[in-house]
Amino acid sequence: MSRRPHRSSSRAGLGKDFLELLSIPVAELTGLLRLAAQLKVKQRRGVSHPLLQGRMLGLLFQKPSTRTRVSFEAGMNQLGGQAMVLPMGDIQLSRGESVADTAHVLSRYLDAIVLRTFDHAIAEEWAREASIPVINGLTDLNHPCQALSDLLTIQEKKRRLKGIKIAYVGDGNNVTNSLIEAAAKMGMTIAVGCPPGYQPDRGIVDRAREEARQTGAVIEIGADPFVAVKDADVVYTDVWISMGQEREQAKRLKILAPYQLNARLLKCAKPDALVMHCLPAHRGEEISAEVLDGPQSVVFDQAENRLHMQKAILVRLLGKKPARST
């Protein structure tokens, strides 16, 4: 994961872009959760909801994707719009065209862009240069769409967010960072257990603690997974080797082995604790098959909720604008 100092987006709220959670007002996040739940009900009842008729979404991916790509593409289609995947290697960015020039051109063709890339500064540059909304589909620093979808899942299962304790164990990566932001905004407790050198971004933790003073959230960063998981309502983990870290595989497997989410660790949580993982999962590494496939696991509910939350984000960013004329 990126260890550079964090720089926040220059645009607050959902006025234009969706890059991180800390810069979005609590009322906006609550509204997105409500809208996602409503859109989920409509879809399950078979009710048509073409709220983005005539809109066009571009998906620019430098990293492989299953859930992000399919949820945004399917979601845009279900909302009456269209989506096109634009692999970075297939466009002129791969031959040296600048982000600025590409962003200016795509802003003339599209209504919004989902970006999945490495350095978070790239997403910030796209947001500065594009005149259309830029949505962070994942960077090495943040994964806000995932964390917001996770809040939807927790709210569905636990009927509340405030006061809920999330325990995260393993590699303190982009998912960890965004979960910390989410917990801080919604008045939750998050306890992180990660080995030294693999803990979440210090800049995000500091900013989240400032937010927590306003919301009553509690943010605990430690190295002991059993301490983190004690009395947790939700126990969360993610892969140990993220995209771009393959050369570190042997080292990471050795250092992170004591942080596996298994039955022994899960016993430290509340008896009705949820098991969460953003997928893809490596059974036998960061999580045991017994736990991932067990009765407390909600990982496929999480995955489904990516669809409904992406749709809510798209509607909030695009729904009140007139359709592009042809």
Interval 172-217: pLDDT, tens: 999 999 999 999 999 999 999 999 999 999 999 999 999 999 999 9
| Lookup: tokens for 287 | 């999580």
Q: Is 65 a known ligand-binding residue?
A: yes
For residues 132 and 156, the answer to whether their CB atoms sit within 8 Å is no
Give residue 11's identity as a one-letter amino acid code.
R
From 55, 143, 252, 308, the catalytic residue: 143
For the whole model, what pTM was predicted?
0.93
Strand partners, 235: 167, 275
Q: Is 92 a known ligand-binding residue?
A: yes
**Annotated catalytic residue 238:** yes
In this predicted structure, what is the pLDDT of residue 320?
64
| Nearest Cα to Cα of residue 237 among 258, 216, 219, 215 | 258
From 55, 120, 207, 306, the catalytic residue: 306
Strand partners, 255: none
Write down the number of H helices and E strands in the chain: 12, 9
For 207-216, what is each residue's pLDDT tens digit? 999 999 999 9
From 6, 155, 278, 308, the catalytic residue: 278
Q: Is 17 a known ligand-binding residue?
A: no
Q: Is 247 a known ligand-binding residue?
A: no
Q: Is 116 a known ligand-binding residue?
A: yes
In this predicted structure, what is the pLDDT of residue 266?
98
**Annotated catalytic residue 146:** yes
- Element at 140 (helix H, strand E): none
Task: Give the mean pLDDT per block of 10 residues along the chain (326 residues).
Answer: 36 74 97 98 96 98 94 98 93 94 98 97 98 98 98 98 98 98 98 97 98 98 98 98 85 97 98 98 98 98 98 93 44
**Annotated catalytic residue 143:** yes
In this predicted structure, what is the pLDDT of residue 115?
97
From 6, 116, 207, 308, the catalytic residue: 116
| Nearest Cα to Cα of residue 187 among 8, 26, 305, 21 | 26
In this predicted structure, what is the pLDDT of residue 10?
35
- The single-letter DSSP state of residue 90 is G
Q: Is 326 a known ligand-binding residue?
A: no
Distance CA 256, CA 253 (A): 5
For the chain, list the domains and their CATH numbers: 26-142+305-318 (3.40.50.1370), 146-298 (3.40.50.1370)
**Annotated catalytic residue 268:** no
